[in-house]
Chains A and B, each alone.
Chain A
Amino acid sequence: MYNYSEVDQRLVDERVQQFRGQVDRRLAGEIAEDEFKPLRLQNGLYLQLHAYMLRVAVPYGTLSSLQMRKLAHIARRYDRGFGHFTTRQNIQYNWIKLEDAPDILAELASVQMHAFQTSGNCIRNITADHYAAASADEVDDARVWSEIVRQWSTLHPEFSFLPRKFKIAVSGSPADRAAVEVHDIGLKLIRNAAGEVGFTVLVGGGLGRTPIIGKVVSEFVTADKLLGYLEAILRVYNEAGRRDNIYKARIKILVQEMGIETFRAAVDAEWERSRDHAPVATPEFIAEIRNRFTDPDFETNLDDGDLLETLRYSPAFAAWFQGNVAEHRQKGYAIVNISLKPIGGIPGDATAEQIDGVADLADRHGHGEIRVTHTQNLVLPHVRRRDLPKLWRALDMLGLATDNVGRATDIIACPGLDYCSLANARSIPVAQRLSERLAVLDKEFDLGPLEIKVSGCINACGHHHVGHIGLLGVDKNGEEFYQITLGGSDAPGSTIGTILGPAFSSARVDEAVETIARTYLELRQPNESFLAAWRRLGATPFKERLYATA
């Protein structure tokens, strides 16, 4: 966990004061909604279909058990007893009262949390690799750099009124678990030939109305240059990004219109002009931030306890271990993924009891640390292997032991028309029905790794463009239809999904997805994943079966 400095704490407390004043003035009618709206958005408070929604920041997806308990408490005290984890590693509450919002922010501040800049045309939550500091394959701890970028971007006076929102992701490993290729800026930690840690900087990736894969603007930026270089990019965007059309206002459009060569030249020129006044993360500062992350005192000489025996006698435990547990850099430890996608359940939702339960399990078995993934699941990054059977049984009691991480029933869905005023169609019911249908198919035939993502509108908060199977809800004459895309991926070498053909009504979409799954089963080669099969086969066999005239 990151431990706040005195300055960090002061700023969240002062923000609460500032916001409380703004809310009081709003409630007293002293400021109108058009002035108040950007202020509340910069504190993560949206007006949705049913009520205000509060989006609480979970910086780089990292939480302590103390913070997790506070999130459960907020769900119970101020909302309807549950929260929703999002594709940007944040948590959302759907029935917040404006008059409670300052108190909620004060409660969050008391555990070093906030809702800074989780909405609005500013730099949003920095998302990162959810296995940071736990996986063996990392170049460096993505959380350290995410925290540095978070500080740089918080209350940035120059970049708080950008043409549009701005999303940055940080990957610490070549495996890129942070989807850096589809962010406004993606930072990949790498080492150069001299062994120095630096960043490959990608720019102009994004989903939404115009999905684009990010391009490399710099192969290697040194640590001391990073923040100044980011400022140069933001300044070019702030000045040249379009402001006449919100659908053309993201940096991806600017990069596309300028071309990456011209864009790079503009950033380099800006860096040269501004380097003397640029922010710098000095080696001392970086070391200080690193020290603020308390990492566990790993035990050595751990045995596996009854892990192997449990694997032998319990097929259910073995399936969960196979599906949800990943290798840890420290001998005797494991990374545990907790699926928030029970079969037929609401993707990404967790009750206050479940959130508290995970906090307790983190304390008992996980050195008190929890992560949120951008696929709406949770992670306990540091679990002793010998604790796995006990942990699994406890998770099962909480309804959190579904062994489907990365599989067909681990479906990502945005809140959709059930909650969101931007949506054209519902996403949750489709995800629920697909989960039930595919659970049967998966159990019988093993669909392997299969990422299904559902968005309720073109804003693509469900990341459907990078789903192996993506569903986009649309409104056709008042009815919900779903357009299907195939072959998207946010792993290294990211691809945008291909539209297959006309959209399917909600009565027919379940069967359409099953047809796609069956097509894969029919045509796959031994050990070939869905994505690999798609890349080999192309759209034709899928289209033929989906759109075959009856």
Chain B
Amino acid sequence: MVAKSKSAASLRLVTANRLTDGVVVFLGPDGQWTASIAESAAVATSEEAEHLLAVARDSALRAEIVEPYIIEAERQDGVPVPERFRERIRVTGPTIQTPGS
């Protein structure tokens, strides 16, 4: 695993877990949640990210999701890829071959 250097062109997006089933979701541009990071609202500045987080917190109050937070990503082949390894695992699932995976 190669360490990612912090890029000035980092994107920011908001992720959470869906309340009912715990599925990892990302806040989309329309304020809806999506399980696909490709469809997430990815913004350039932390101010915009804070705004997204505020939208996410309202959604938490409506019992739609839990524990929203901001993550940083880089666009690779048109799709945001999280900078932190932990967040990449959250997107792709466990790195090991589980039964039925």
Contact = CB atoms under 8 A, between A and B. Distances in A.
B43 interface: no
Contacts of B8: none
Contacts of B22: 47-48, 50-52, 95-98
Interface residues of A, number: 36
A480 interface: yes
A26 B63 contact: yes
A98 B21 contact: yes
A428 B100 CA distance: 17
B100 A82 contact: yes
Contact of A51 (B3, B23, B62): B23
B78 interface: no
Interface string B60-90: 1111001100000000000000011110011
B56 to A, nearest CB: 13
Interface of A: 26-29, 32-33, 47-52, 80-82, 95-99, 346, 349, 351, 417-419, 423, 426, 428-429, 432, 477-480, 506
Nearest to B93: A50
Contact of A49 (B3, B20, B90): B90
A426 B3 CA distance: 15
B4 A478 contact: yes
B98 A80 contact: yes
B25 to A, nearest CB: 11
Contacts, number: 85
Nearest to A423: B86
A80 to B, nearest CB: 5
B85 to A, nearest CB: 6
A349 B98 contact: yes
17 contacts: A32-B61, A33-B66, A33-B67, A50-B22, A51-B17, A81-B100, A97-B20, A99-B20, A99-B21, A417-B85, A417-B89, A418-B96, A419-B94, A428-B96, A477-B3, A479-B1, A480-B1
A48 B84 CA distance: 16
Nearest to B90: A49
A335 B85 CA distance: 43
Given A426-B95, A429-B95, A478 B85 contact: yes
Nearest 5 A-B pairs (CB), nearest first?
A29-B63, A51-B22, A97-B21, A418-B94, A52-B22
A28 B21 contact: no
**What is the predominant secondary structure among interface residues of chain B facing chain A?**
loop
B39 to A, nearest CB: 18
B3 A479 contact: yes
B21 A47 contact: no
A426 B51 CA distance: 33
A27 B95 contact: no
A426 B60 CA distance: 29
B19 interface: yes
Contact of A80 (B17, B19, B23, B100): B100
A28 B62 CA distance: 9
A204 to B, nearest CB: 33
Contacts of A97: 20-22
B86 A432 contact: no
A478 B84 contact: yes
Given A47-B67, A98-B20, 7 more contacts: A47-B66, A80-B101, A99-B21, A418-B89, A432-B96, A478-B84, A478-B85
A80 B23 CA distance: 14
B24 interface: yes
Nearest to A477: B3
A479 B3 CA distance: 6
A60 B41 CA distance: 48
Contacts of B60: 33
Nearest to A421: B86
A239 B25 CA distance: 41
B86 A49 contact: yes
Interface string B14-52: 000101111110000000000000000000000000000
B21 A51 contact: yes
Contacts of B85: 417, 478, 480
B100 to A, nearest CB: 5
A346 B67 contact: no
Contacts of A419: 94
Contacts of B63: 26-29
Nearest to A100: B21
Among B17, B93, B98, find the residue whose CB has the most chain A CB atoms closer than 10 A: B98
